[in-house]
């Protein structure tokens, strides 16, 4: 193990499977306990008045708040958070990481850190509902305008969005969600990062490029390697993996993550000790769970594609060879993941009849848990989205989204097969 708990993945020479289990923890720091204890203290005692002064100096004047400084108060930093952040950084191949109380807490901190009244922001489409709500609600109220990129694989489309945005004000942020949910639309991260450099020549500052990596997660996509400045992940999904916690991660360079971590302290959206500990535990089996869920998903996607009552399956593994999306997918993604949508031959009535017959799949929103989930997008996750926009993002009354878990694939296929007999 590396001496430096924040040293990058390459520096360790170890595989993610190994790093996920033990990276950054030294049993000698806790009575020889093989597993890290949960430290619930809200505040930390100074050994002397002089030490207190030095601790505050290190925190406020250091390169990245709280990264190397001793503990002061748990909203700033605490032992479980520090250990979790070290492990998140190493899994993303990042220099530094910050953990938040939810994915949305990480996204809002990034937006508040990089956007000010008068700025514009470019974003891929469709966006996660919460991100869309934040940009077009409270941030619009602060005079920040959001501009969608129609096709994030086409430089022309990006240029067109930027021209419109620049008429409103400087572009502070380019926010990418790829693959997008539920369309599985792909954005070319490297192209957008290079484009940010071009925009930088036309205004005071290069826009910051952030990528919401929730849909594939750390093991299947590394946005920082493709030129993104910040990688955001909802840990609620694959990393947490058991549908029993909420959390968010931000990774990037010390220079990028440090100031946002300072902002987190002011917003009070750090991750608490128990959730941090739960996540450390979850991360140990992350590679195992991911491999099983991805294999299950490939089996189920193939079963659905060949089923006479299924109209279409939007699974990344089925992207057409030779298409622009496929080329970027092959370069950018390590696999198709385990969440995808499909459309049955029928409408709401047939979809509901099928859903109500499922015995193994649970009907719920969210994704990335050990259990398989399914939901009728139009009446749940996309309930608030107007029908014309819903159609644009490929969601109609026949659309179902599934998040495939780690159960036995034969049981999952059998459950879907008997449910599809409902109509
Ligand atoms: C769930 C999700 C989020 C928000 O994460 P929370 O942990 O629920 O706040 C953001 N982006 C995507 C793509 C998501 O799926």
DSSP 342: E
Alpha carbons within 13 angstroms on the beta-carbon side of residue 146 total: 22
293 and 212 together in one domain: no
User: For residues 94-124, b (16+ Cβ closer than 10 Å) or e, as one string?
Assistant: bbbbbbbbbbbbbbbbbbbbbbeeebbbbbb
pTM of the entire structure? 0.95
Closest-lying ligand 1 atom to the alpha carbon of residue 105: 9
52 lines ligand 1 (CB under 6 A): no
Pure H helices in 241-392: 254-267, 273-284, 286-305, 324-332, 348-357, 387-392
Strand-pairing partners, residue 373, are 362, 403
Whether residue 213 is contained in a domain is answered as: yes
Is 244 a member of any domain? no
Mean pLDDT of 151-173: 97
Å from CA of 100 to ligand 1 middle: 12
* 207 and 306, same domain (yes or no): no
Residues designated as active site? 75, 128, 212, 237
Nearest to 90 by CA among 210, 236, 219, 215: 219
Number of domains observed in the structure of the chain: 2
Do 306 and 414 fall within a single domain? yes
Q: Does residue 66 come out as left (phi exceeding 0), alpha (psi in the -120 to 50 range) or beta?
A: left
Mutate to test the pocket of ligand 1, among 125, 131, 237 (most ligand atoms within 8 A of CB): 237
Atom of ligand 1 nearest to the CA of 214: 13
The protein residue with its alpha carbon nearest to ligand 1, atom 11, reads 128
Give yes or no: residues 314 and 404 share one domain: yes
Within a domain: residue 249? no
Instruction: Determine which residue's CA is closest to atom 1 belonging to ligand 1.
Output: 234
Domain identity same for 304 and 411: yes
CB 89 within 8 A of CB 101: no
Residue 46 forms part of a structural domain: no
Residue nearest atom 4 of ligand 1, based on CA coordinates: 103
What pairs with residue 400 in β-bridges?
A: 342, 376
Question: How many A from CA of 214 to the centre of ligand 1?
Answer: 7
Neighbours of 246 (CB within 10 A): 17
Q: Is the pLDDT of residue 157 over 90?
A: yes
Residue 43 to residue 71: CA distance in whole angstroms:
8
Does residue 139 share a domain with residue 212? Answer: yes
In a domain, 328, yes or no: yes
Of the residues 197, 215, 235, which one is the last residue of a structural domain? 235
CA nearest ligand 1 atom 8, residue: 103
Average the pLDDT over 358-387 and give the result. 94
Q: Are strands 362-363 and 373-376 parallel, antiparallel or unpaired?
A: parallel
Same domain, 222 and 333: no
Residue 30 lies in a domain: no
Same domain, 290 and 416: yes
Residue 222 lies in a domain: yes
Taking the centre of ligand 1 as the mean of its atom positions, its distance from the CA of residue 126, in whole angstroms, is: 13
Which residue's C-alpha comes closest to atom 7 of ligand 1? 103
Q: Average pLDDT in the 234-248 region?
A: 98
Residue 254 pLDDT level (bands cut at 50, 70, 90): very high
Distance CA 96, CA 64 (A): 9
Q: What is the pLDDT of residues 127-148, one digit of tens each?
A: 999 999 999 999 999 999 999 9
Same-domain check for residues 212 and 321: no
Q: 186 near 215, Cβ under 8 Å?
A: no
- Please say which residue of 235, 252, 271 terminates a domain: 235
DSSP state of 206: P
Predicted confidence (pLDDT) at residue 359 exceeds the cutoff of 90? yes
Question: Which range marks the domain in which residue 387 is found?
Answer: 286-420
Average pLDDT estimate for 260-264: 95
Please report the pLDDT score of residue 64 as a whole number.
64
- Give the number of the atom of ligand 1 that is nearest the alpha carbon of residue 107: 10
Same domain, 218 and 299: no
Gap from CA of 144 to ligand 1 centroid (Å): 22
Per-residue pLDDT, averaged over 342-349, amounts to 96
Q: Which distant-in-sequence residues (6+ apart) come within 8 Å of 128 by Cβ? A: 177, 181, 212, 214
Which of 201, 235, 269 is at the close of a domain?
235
Assess whether 228 and 133 both reside in one domain.
yes
CA distance 337 to 297: 7
pLDDT band at 62 (very low <50, low <70, confident <90, very high): confident
Q: Domain of 291: which CATH number? A: 3.90.1150.10
How many residues are recorded in the chain? Answer: 423
The domain that contains 142 carries what CATH number? 3.40.640.10
């Amino acid at each position: 193990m590396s001496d430096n708990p924040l040293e990058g993945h390459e520096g360790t020479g170890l595989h993610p499977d190994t790093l996920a289990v033990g990276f950054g923890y030294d049993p000698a720091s806790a009575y020889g306990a093989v597993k890290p204890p949960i430290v619930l203290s809200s505040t930390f005692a100074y050994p002397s008045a002089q030490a207190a002064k030095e601790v505050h100096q290190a925190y406020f004047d250091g390169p990245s708040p709280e990264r190397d400084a001793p503990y002061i108060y748990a909203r700033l930093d605490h032992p479980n958070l520090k250990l979790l952040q070290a492990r998140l950084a190493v899994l993303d191949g990042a220099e530094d990481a910050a953990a938040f109380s939810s994915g949305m807490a990480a996204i809002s901190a990034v937006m508040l850190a990089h956007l000010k009244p008068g700025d514009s922001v470019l974003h891929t489409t469709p966006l996660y509902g919460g991100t869309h709500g934040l940009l077009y609600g409270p941030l619009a109220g602060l005079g920040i305008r959001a501009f969608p990129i129609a096709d994030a694989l086409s430089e022309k489309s990006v240029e067109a969005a930027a021209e419109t945005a620049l008429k409103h004000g400087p572009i502070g942020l380019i926010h990418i969600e790829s693959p997008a949910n539920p369309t599985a639309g792909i954005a070319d991260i490297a192209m957008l990062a290079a484009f940010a450099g071009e925009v930088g020549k036309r205004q005071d500052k290069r826009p910051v490029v952030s990528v919401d990596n929730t849909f594939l997660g750390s093991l299947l996509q590394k946005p920082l390697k493709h030129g993104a400045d910040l990688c955001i992940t909802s840990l609620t999904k694959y990393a947490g993996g058991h549908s029993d916690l909420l959390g968010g991660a931000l990774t990037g360079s010390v220079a990028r993550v440090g100031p946002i971590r300072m902002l987190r302290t002011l917003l009070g959206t750090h991750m608490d000790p128990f959730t941090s500990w739960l996540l450390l535990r979850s991360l140990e089996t992350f590679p195992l769970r991911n491999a099983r869920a991805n294999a299950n998903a490939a089996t189920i996607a193939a079963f659905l594609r060949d089923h006479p009552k299924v109209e279409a399956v939007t699974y990344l593994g089925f992207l057409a060879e030779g298409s622009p999306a496929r080329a970027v997918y092959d370069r950018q993604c390590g696999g198709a993941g385990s969440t995808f949508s499909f459309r049955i031959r029928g409408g709401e009535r047939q979809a509901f009849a099928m859903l109500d017959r499922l015995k193994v799949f649970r009907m719920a929103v969210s994704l990335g848990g050990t259990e398989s989930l399914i939901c009728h997008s139009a009446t749940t996750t996309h309930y608030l989205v107007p029908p014309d926009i819903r159609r644009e993002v490929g969601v109609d009354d026949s659309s179902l989204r599934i998040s495939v878990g780690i159960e036995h694939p034969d049981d999952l296929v059998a459950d879907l097969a008997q449910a599809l007999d409902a109509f």
